[in-house]
Structure 1
Amino acid sequence: MEKIRNYTDDEFGLFLVSELTELKDIELTILKGHILTEFAINCYLESISENKNSDFFKENFNYSSKIKLLLHFGNYSGPGGEYIIKSLEVLNKLRNTIAHSLTINHHLIKEFLAIIRKISPSKGNFNNEKLPEQHRLESGIAFVCGMIFGRYCEIRNKKTKPNTVSYVKHFPES
């Protein structure tokens, strides 16, 4: 885990692609996507925490509570940010549907993808209706993870290299 925390944006992106595209089952894509987004959320929450010893990997917050922490403390209320929060909420519903009823709610997958399109209406495989649903879902999950992990990297880099300039643009203009 520690090694992954130190990845650059690009390294994390390659990691996400390798983790998600190897899956042949949409249920596993949802479950693994949930885990990967939680990893990115944990890193980000630790980076904004006032407590230098915080460890959100060991804290007893559930996924839903972590989303609320992002909403209240993570600067996700601006343009595009609210869609990241909404997409995480829908991903959590998708995961819970599988965990509690062993079914996939395809309507929620469509809702998830529609939310992501509001952030990036013209880029990303999640916009390509010709691709299978699972591939669009993988792309959407990777996109959300990358957005959160990118913010984490920016904060981490400011702390370790305070005089560097960041060129990361978090949310495309709608």
Structure 2
Amino acid sequence: MDRLTQLQDTLDDLMTQMYATLSYINTKHPYGDFPSQPSQAPPSHPTAHPSSDQPLANGSPAPKTNGTVAADRDGDDKKETNGGHIPDAPEVFQETMRRLAQSLVLQEQKAEILINSLPGLGNSEAMQRERMRELEAELREVEQERRAAEGERERLVEMLGEVVVGSRRVR
């Protein structure tokens, strides 16, 4: 596989990892608490404010924040309606983020190594053209040597054939 194909594969892998990391962040981030703001966490989540399930002063149920949790009137089944966001515990989320970041950095370094190994980096166009002329001349020489070796091979096969035919007559 040539270096450009390797580089393309590495960049494809890097983009896939970036997308997966963003998807993880979007679906698994823990809920944050902001001072003087209602909690966005569902009442069953540990970061939810304990008062979010308490009825209002007039006896009506407390409103749900941003429609993230819908409850039956009886309070039986709570259903998440926020796109399936089930957060990881903060320490798990941070550890996973650290591992994902390390993976992204390693993949980027692979791409950088491949980029730096590409021929022509640091060479002017004139230098590259001169190198191509040298390689073409070397290729012509090698092709001449190959043709000479092919001629020698044919000559030796012919000689061997004569020896084999000559040895049959002697018997």
Q: TM-score, normalised by structure 2?
A: 0.23
Question: Which of the two has greater helix per residue?
Answer: 1
Larger RCO: 1 or 2 (CA < 8 Å, sep 6+)? 1
Q: Greater CA radius of gyration, 1 or 2? A: 2
Q: TM-score, normalised by structure 1?
A: 0.23
